Structure 1
Amino acid sequence: MEDIVILDTGCANLTSIKVAIEKLGYYPFITSEPSIVINSKKIFLPGVGTAAAVMKILSKKKLINIIQDFKRPVLGICLGMQLFCDFSEEGNGVKTIGIIKSSVLRLKTNNLPLPHIGWNQVLFNKSYPLFKHIPNNSRFYFVHSYIVPINKYTLSTTNYDINFSSVIQKNNFFGVQFHPEKSGHIGAQLLKNFLEM
């Protein structure tokens, strides 16, 4: 059985996520085959590119309902986290997976460059299993132009002229706005924590 699945969303960063997970001693499988996805123990939903393009792929592969009904841990990375919301302002507006009642908004800053690219601090107020052995205010690597506003599912916040959700969780759905696979040993620890849940 393919226990750990990285959903093949047609993105460019699938290999770097796969390599980061393999370094932790796990053997993930990149696929969009519904019968494999439905039986997996953990799902990674990566995202690079546009919400519309990834939603189109998920819809074509008949994966949207499978994700919505999945009862084991799912980790959305970057755009993957944003897709957990029900709507994105991207383009002319995109209906997304709808696990979390929130819209994804365009990141607006007064004078900071966009997209938000680089290392930034992640501030969390409570200890969660996902943050085990990760000091508060640790720095992770970000690349994004859209944000999930702070809401009741926000576990951590990051500031880039404004505060936004950098980690969210609802039940078995976890989302990180940063790229753990590009965030050195701290990112590796977060992936390890998720894999050990």
Structure 2
Amino acid sequence: MACSYALLNQQDEAFYYLKRSIENGFNDINTIEKDSDLYQLHSHIDWENIIESIKEHNSKTLTEYQLFTKIISLIHLNKSKSIWELCSTHYTDTTDQNNFNKNIESISKLLEKEKIKNTELPKIHPKRSFRYTDKVLNNKISEYDYLIIPNHFRHYVQNLLVKPMGYVIKIQLIEENYQWYLSKITLQNNYFNLLIKLMMN
């Protein structure tokens, strides 16, 4: 709507709908600044105020990968309370915080035990999916699998087995209203699961 009114040179209406879009979570400053439909608004006194408000908002908002790396850093420090504050509302509403804290503590102790430092965080390409309602995009979802192979078995795992056994930290992020949140974090033990399979064979 903002673009349509801007093209019609109806600047008051264009700014009204632009502000409404920003209030509803649209804060992609690159798109807003480069959209040729909005060029006529650039000389208006309100334009700089809008751009500054978006920059201020974005400075407090984490990108997907920034959120992921921050979560990993906080796990290493065993800061479950700080991680809890990064969770989506749905996750906190459906998750027991005490169990969440214990889960983070378990992951933190595992990283310490296996002597994995935060600087050793690998380059991970997440699996992405999307949720739609009536053909309208509701959420973007990214899932990260962070594999941890036990130190004492690492050489053999890497050289003898096609499918490495170890632990997997599964981290799921979700984008809601143009902001990223933690929507699930679990620790999966592939080490013992695979050992059982090998023993059964």
Length-normalised TM-score, structure 2: 0.28
Q: Give the structure with the larger helix fraction.
A: 2
* Larger strand proportion of the pair: 1
* Relative contact order higher in (CA < 8 Å, ≥ 6 apart): 1
Larger Rg, first or second structure (1 or 2): 2
